[in-house]
Chain A
Amino acid sequence: AQTVTQSQPEMSVQEAETVTLSCTYDTSESDYYLFWYKQPPSRQMILVIRQEAYKQQNATENRFSVNFQKAAKSFSLKISDSQLGDAAMYFCALYSGGGADGLTFGKGTHLIIQP
């Protein structure tokens, strides 16, 4: 069985600063995909960034980037120049195909942006 662990239930950052959200995972598959989703108070699930395990280069999407450490099974999300609109729950998710069990999600990190 695959697992995703987000060890930070809540994080707080000042507006315009940088914050890193942690995620570790476990899977026995060699090829898999990792995702970060954002869930603002409107409760939509919004895809933030995605990474394939075979790609060494860390994915970036504007102010969002990841630090993917395959050996350590770590997939952290860095948000630069934090904005008030970044306040949300952030979920790390893993898909390793095989049994096609959909995405496995972590419990989430609640990100607070201090003005």
Chain B
Amino acid sequence: DSGVTQTPKHLITATGQRVTLRCSPRSGDLSVYWYQQSLDQGLQFLIQYYNGEERAKGNILERFSAQQFPDLHSELNLSSLELGDSALYFCASSGTSGLGLNSPLHFGNGTRLTVT
């Protein structure tokens, strides 16, 4: 068990809808990362938050947004959903703003999103 909690495990929704994915980092970790894993694109970095502030942005669509709350949990909001947004969404956490030997990424079990 990595200590990173993601809810829900599965989500099925229709095109055009909006969903929110939730992540609680490991106890003591200040950084939260969001990744999208799809068959054609592999694992893509979306966005990172550190102690409530946006730290880095990757291949995140404008229809997607995220935030990290004072209790350090994070939410990823996906709106105007398209069929191509179907994927496994991972949250990961680390203890510092950057990564390293003593601060690797620890992943949650992911949320499987299916858009129909």
Residues of A whose CB lies within 8 Å of any CB of B are 33, 35, 37, 42-47, 50, 52, 91, 95, 97, 99-108
- Known contacts A50-B104, A102-B58: does B99 contact A97 (CB below 8 Å)? yes
Q: Please, how many residues of chain B have a CB less than 8 angstroms from a CB on the other chain?
A: 25
Contacts of B45 on A, CB cut-off 8 Å?
101-104
- Known contacts A100-B97, A102-B48, A104-B45: does B104 contact A43 (CB below 8 Å)? no
- A55 to B, closest residue via Cβ: B101
B28 within 8 A of A: no
The answer to whether A103 touches B105 (Cβ under 8 A) is yes
The answer to whether B109 touches A50 (Cβ under 8 A) is no
Contacts of B88 on A, CB cut-off 8 Å?
43
Contacts of B35 on A, CB cut-off 8 Å?
102
